Structure 1
Amino acid sequence: MKKVYSLFKTNNHYYVYDANIDKVSKLSSRLYQLIMNESEFQNDQEYDNLCKKGFFQSSKLNLAKRPETDVIDDFYKRKLGNVIFQTTQNCNLRCAYCPYSQSNMNNRNHNILNMPLNTAKKVLDFIHMHSVDRENISIGFYGGEPLLNFDLIKNIVNYANNIFLGKELIYSITTNLTVITNEMLRFFEDNKFEIMVSLDGAKESNDKNRKYYSKKRSVFDTVIQNLKEIHNNYPYINSKCVISMVMDPAECLDEYDDLIKEYPFMKSYRYNAVIQEDLFSDNKNIWSDRFKNQYYYKMFLCYISKIKKYKFENDLFLFENAPEILKENISNRYIFDNNTLIDNPFVLTSGMCTIGKHKLFVDVHGNFYPCEKVGETNKDFLIGNCIEGFDLKKCTDLINFTSLFSDRCLNCIAMRDCQMCIKDFAVSGVYNEKSEEICEHYQNTFMEQLRAKAILHEALFEGGENSEIQ
């Protein structure tokens, strides 16, 4: 097994990160250059001291089995409770980046299939039978556009309210909000729905990629009018409304910020802003220099906002969750210049959720998938159905999917912080050029984030003031 370490630098220091021991240490500029130049090290005290701490050693690691593997059978029998219904595969929009609007056959296309009520009841009966240890049940609705089958949503809610007596029910829906009516809004208000609404910034940026299938009018105008209706007349769902904003990196980030400048009432909502995903797309993302500079500046402000006296609410409203994520990443994740040597021959790679725990996606036929982001055409990710239950072996294999290419993982700099998900392999497969490109992308992302964490660490602990993480 090879050595797995990488060098990086900030404006103030030089560093090495060693994945085998999961440690970061500062380097002198001299040693940094020597290592970069692949020089020989004889009687170099700094290098020898780092070696004693475990740096630069050949790995003897093995992949550990994920611990949830041993309990998933019990979980599936007694603790289910997070289900997402695909009410329909139909949609009235054709968004440019939507995985169901592509021609590459990496996913299904839009069609008119709806989930029948008897299938939905079988799913609910299955969840009811296997949720005896759950205190709450989370039921979500997805599409296509789920509101195109609103009658099914009403029937599911009514049936769930009857069979899950004594449990807390949490309802949610992801919608483009173009076909919603006051009847629907009253129903959602009465049943305490959480709503995620798709809206990609102000009018120009939204309508560039989000278009009606059969109409020539503005999607933005429709959505903003319906959001005003929610804001003015439906206080509960207004308080639980989240705007899902997909940002096109070819555009200018200012166009997304302009939304609350033009519509001040939109500031009352929470936002989930993400970069447009191109994994399933015919056309891959092109990052403009301006977007890239603006985006990384926002991330810089997120880091700086963790220094107590600074606030950037107006600048970071789209990234309201980012500072807390950064706080978690920096607080205890890495130990800088620590003398403790890790002596554990097993490593638990990251990147995989517990199948069915956080989400269980059910398509219109009653088939089970890990989540709504996994391509439904790839049967490797079909993990069961509402009649026969779960394929336990397939679930176990997916949870431990890194064992399929253990050498690649154990020789990867990002082995402990991989953000890869099985949705990536729904397109790429395992052993091919595309798969290796995805791995390289996550390796580069990991090192960029590690450098950012080092910069924040310097600001917090070397800033000369009593800075602290909030």
Structure 2
Amino acid sequence: MDSFIHLFKTPGGHYLYDVNKNVILSLSEEQYKILDYYRDSDDTGKCTTSEFSTQAVESIDHLRVLGFLSEKRPKEMYHPLNDTILSHLNNKVKMITLQITKQCNLRCKYCVYSGNYENRDHSNEKMTLETAKKGIDFYIEHSKDNENGLLAFYGGEPLLEFEFIKNCIEYFEERAEGKNIHLNLTTNATLLTEEIVNYFQKHNVHLLISLDGPSEVHNKNRVYGYDDRGTFEKVMENLEMIKTKFSDYLSTNIAFNAVLDPQNEFSCVNNFFVDFEIAKEANIMASEISNLYRKDTVKTSDNYISETQYEYFKIFLSRLGYLDEKYTSKLLLRHYTERKDRYGRLQMRPELPDKIHHGGPCVPGVQRLFMDVGGNFYPCERVSEASPHMKIGNIDAGFDVDKILSLLNVGKISEKKCINCWALMFCNLCAAAADENDGLSMEKKVSRCSYERNSADSILKDICTLREFGAELGEEIHAFDMAE
């Protein structure tokens, strides 16, 4: 068996990622060639080939003496919280999101309720106040260890049920006394009124407003349900009202979410948010149209790829001090923060444990508990409500611990592949990536593995390139330079 490492190069250097140690090592070109030579070799002994200098060979052997280049693989996919899951479910639930209605006044063409997805459709179903109160009580009872209390509202369009929301907020504030209360609501913003904003300001409700860009982009997908008209003008009208009458609320409690259509020009959307005065100081998030549970695949234009790659390059330039940050895209800042965060997690360890789990799964029921209109529990709002495997309990029976453990340990269905994958700690695949609506599929899950490995390789290369140019990514106690 060969060393459990991943070799990669940047324009400025040669590197390896040591999976057991969880560190990046900088190599000389000759050291890199030695490791590349032996990577697929059955010879696991000391380097002796005459093709390389004695000094370089000895440096590789010295790495082995220091504990690097180990061949060890984990023996089992086993989530580290598996044995303490009951404690987390009973005491540490971080938030609850209530799906208060499945109805919406819009018919956004890429929405998960649009009919283009296998897991959801619009309907007239809505949550009863009794169910909502039970959900809030359940959350309070199962979050005793948390100082913060977080309640979120989801739809459909939640503002169709404003009076219902008010009742929930006031009940939550009463029941969560002693906690730091946080209230979030996702909205298309077409139904906002002075009365609603005034109430939200008094109760410190944070709004995430869906806004995809200029009118020609926003109105392409975000249309009314009754006449297919675009909604951009109404959203702008309501934002101007907030700016005029609730300016403090606008600056502190409103964020924007842009859903990027990869068939559009990215620059058009980006330029809009650069010039959009109302959003100058706001937090702006962006996500592409989801392919999760989608009946077809959203295609990405070459122009979109070219433009986003250029924006990533500009963000890196700004972090290196070569470009003013004002010229970078706020929509894509996550590309840099993800790399900085990943760099911070490269903390050296003695070796991989025998039992480990790849990255990706949240702790179902603990991190983003989602309750649908009927009181059924799901790991988050993104999974399929049509999938029995994703239903992790209900408000009357409580958590289904067996299902939660199955989702938590989704790596078991592809264990033989996972334990030999160098990118296992970089993996982002949760159970939703394996969900066929009638069970979890190993084939569906591993079909995403190549993408995950390529993404991990790209992250490592970006990290090392940024470091080569002097970027401050955090503490560097885990970085070692073995280049001769």
Q: Compute the TM-score of the two structures, normalised by the length of structure 1.
A: 0.88
CA contact (8 A) 1:200 1:246 kept: yes
Q: Deviations over 1:299-320 (max 9, x none)?
A: 2333333336754133232234
CA contact (8 A) 1:211 1:219 kept: yes
Q: Matched residue pairs, number?
A: 460
Are 2:28 and 1:19 equivalent residues in the alignment?
no
Q: Secondary structure at the match of 2:366?
A: coil
Partner of 1:207: 219
Partner of 2:137: 125
Partner of 2:244: 232
Can you give the 5+ residue segments of structure 1 that lack an aligned partner in the other structure? 462-466
Q: CA deviation at 1:230?
A: 1.8
Give the distance between the partners of 1:140 and 1:129, measured in 2 at CA.
17
CA contact (8 A) 1:367 1:382 kept: yes
Q: Secondary structure at the match of 1:305?
A: helix
Partner of 1:7: 7
CA contact (8 A) 1:102 1:281 kept: no
Are 2:168 and 1:156 equivalent residues in the alignment?
yes
CA contact (8 A) 2:22 2:346 kept: no
| Identical pairs, percent | 30
CA contact (8 A) 1:353 1:399 kept: yes
Give the distance between the partners of 1:273 and 1:342, measured in 2 at CA.
37
Partner of 1:269: 282
Larger mean CA deviation between 48-57 and 259-268 belongs to 48-57
Q: Secondary structure at the match of 1:91?
A: coil
CA contact (8 A) 1:305 1:323 kept: no
CA contact (8 A) 2:224 2:231 kept: yes
Partner of 2:481: none
- Describe how 1:59-458 pairs up with structure 2 within 5 A: 59-63=72-76, 65-103=78-116, 105=118, 107-238=119-250, 239-260=252-273, 262-307=275-320, 311-331=324-344, 333=346, 342=351, 344-427=353-436, 430-458=440-468
Larger mean CA deviation between 258-267 and 83-92 belongs to 258-267
Q: CA deviation at 1:419?
A: 1.3
1:434 counterpart letter in structure 2: K
1:156 counterpart letter in structure 2: C
Task: Decide whether aligned partners of structure 1 residues 123 and 412 sit closer, same or farther in structure 2, where only a CA change above 3 A counts.
Answer: same
Q: Secondary structure at the match of 2:423?
A: coil
Can you give the 5+ residue segments of structure 2 that lack an aligned partner in the other structure? 476-484
1:90 counterpart letter in structure 2: Q
Larger mean CA deviation between 13-22 and 79-88 belongs to 13-22
Q: Secondary structure at the match of 1:260?
A: helix
Give the distance between the partners of 1:364 and 1:13, measured in 2 at CA.
54
Q: CA deviation at 1:85?
A: 0.4
Q: CA deviation at 1:294?
A: 2.0
CA contact (8 A) 1:90 1:144 kept: yes
CA contact (8 A) 2:410 2:430 kept: no
Q: Secondary structure at the match of 2:327?
A: coil
Give the distance between the partners of 2:324 and 2:238, measured in 1 at CA.
32
Partner of 2:482: none
Q: Compute the TM-score of the two structures, normalised by the length of structure 2.
A: 0.86
Q: CA deviation at 1:241?
A: 0.7
Give the distance between the partners of 2:352 and 2:392, measured in 1 at CA.
37
Larger mean CA deviation between 73-82 and 201-210 belongs to 73-82
Q: CA deviation at 1:213?
A: 2.0
